[in-house]
Amino acid sequence: MYYSALIGNPTTHSVSPLMYEEFAKTVLRGSEYKHLKIDVSVDELDNALLAFKTLKFIGVNVTLPHKMAVMNFIDEIDPIATAVGAVNTITLTSKTIGHNTDWKGIYIPVQKYIAHKSLNLNKATILGSGGAARAAIYACRELNIKQINVVYREDANDKQLADLKHNAKRHNIELFTYAQVGRLINDAQLVINGTSAGMVGNELTPFELTELENIDLTGKIFLDAVFNPINTPLLKYFKERNTYTIDGLWMMIYQGVYALSLWLGYSIDISDERLIEIHKLLEKELLHV
């Protein structure tokens, strides 16, 4: 029997238990698998990780709001997670090791599309400054995007923002407030929502959509890190304006494949056809969480 968990606060909106159990049916035929959703506060992170290790869980996914805070409670952080500045996946062996698989969830679907269309992406605009946005920055760098613009709220966490500004200097990243969001989206070929705006309980957009009224969004790529609901207000807006959209379930699926590979200790292979089936199952499951 294999056990893994999702920790965060809240976790009720997630459909990751079904996702991992479907992965297991494909790659662990004959073995039982259970993925749990557990709400954990910041003060409980240390004890929670110790409990999972004691109970022989193979790994843990980390969601909002702990992707950066959890780094203080891990024995070792791998180089990619260090470069991203956020951990969303933890392997549990004799020690806890922090990884970031979110960037794969962004990189793979965008790379598949640009390879299919033979596109060159020169500019990306990323909304947000938290864990998902940092994974998006890393993914854009791996996609060889020359100019990466990050849009942040003026009331963003001071420490997180200072850290982001420090790293931006080294990686050709520019930071802007939402006052310039229209121009930045107009200039970009790829737009990524790395904020929680649009998720269940926060059915908003990160900025007023009137900012985009006079902008032609045709041919751009938009990826939303939010998966519940699958059609966020922002994703709907871009979809209605002839933008190629990638919903947050695809980000969750591709990061999940990578996370399970880390937990099992070997690379797993799931066909595109099977992933499409799993996407459809998850979309239905979202109606019940």
Find the CATH number of the domain harbouring 44: 3.40.50.10860
Q: What is the pLDDT of residues 105-129, one digit of tens each?
A: 999 999 999 999 999 999 999 999 9
Cα three-residue angle 59-8-265, rounded to 5 degrees:
15
Residues 28, 134 share a domain: no
275, 253 in Cβ contact below 8 A?
yes
What six digits make up the tokens of 109?
Answer: 């679907």
In a 13 Å sphere around the CA of 122, the CA atoms on its Cβ side amount to: 2
pLDDT lower than 70: segments of the chain:
156-160, 169-170
Residues 241, 107 share a domain: yes
Q: What is the pLDDT of residues 6-25, one digit of tens each?
A: 999 999 999 999 999 999 99
Residues 136, 195 share a domain: yes
Q: Report d(CA 251, CA 244) in Å as an integer.
A: 15
Name the percent of the chain in helix, strand, coil, to the closest 5: 45, 20, 35
Cα three-residue angle 279-23-243, rounded to 5 degrees:
25
User: What residue spans of 59-216 are helical by DSSP H?
Assistant: 79-84, 102-117, 131-142, 158-168, 181-187
Edge-to-edge strand list for the sheet holding 2-8: 33-39, 2-8, 59-62, 89-92, 96-99, 76-77
262, 91 in Cβ contact below 8 A?
yes
Overall domain count for the chain: 2
Predicted confidence at residue 154, as pLDDT, reads: 79
Find the CATH number of the domain harbouring 140: 3.40.50.720
Residues 214, 269 share a domain: no
Residues 142, 95 share a domain: no
- DSSP code for 60: E
Residues 206, 94 share a domain: no
Predicted confidence at residue 30, as pLDDT, reads: 77
246, 221 in Cβ contact below 8 A?
yes
Predicted confidence at residue 203, as pLDDT, reads: 82
Peptide bond into 79 cis (omega under 30): no
Residues 96, 24 share a domain: yes
Residues 111, 49 share a domain: no
Q: Report d(CA 173, CA 191) in Å as an integer.
A: 14
Q: Which helix (H) or strand (E) holds 97?
A: strand 96-99
* Domain housing 119: 103-246
98, 89 in Cβ contact below 8 A?
yes
Q: What is the pLDDT of residues 135-170, one digit of tens each?
A: 999 999 999 999 999 999 877 666 667 777 777 766
149, 188 in Cβ contact below 8 A?
yes
Residues 278, 170 share a domain: no
Residues 256, 231 share a domain: no
Q: Which amino acid is at 236?
A: K
Q: Report d(CA 281, CA 131) in Å as an integer.
A: 27
Q: Which residues pair with 38 in a beta bridge?
A: 7
Domain boundary among 246, 261, 276: 246
Find the length of the chain: 289
Report the mean per-residue pLDDT for the chain.
Answer: 94
Catalytic residue numbers, as ranges = 67
Predicted confidence at residue 157, as pLDDT, reads: 66
Residues 72, 199 share a domain: no
Residues 217, 274 share a domain: no
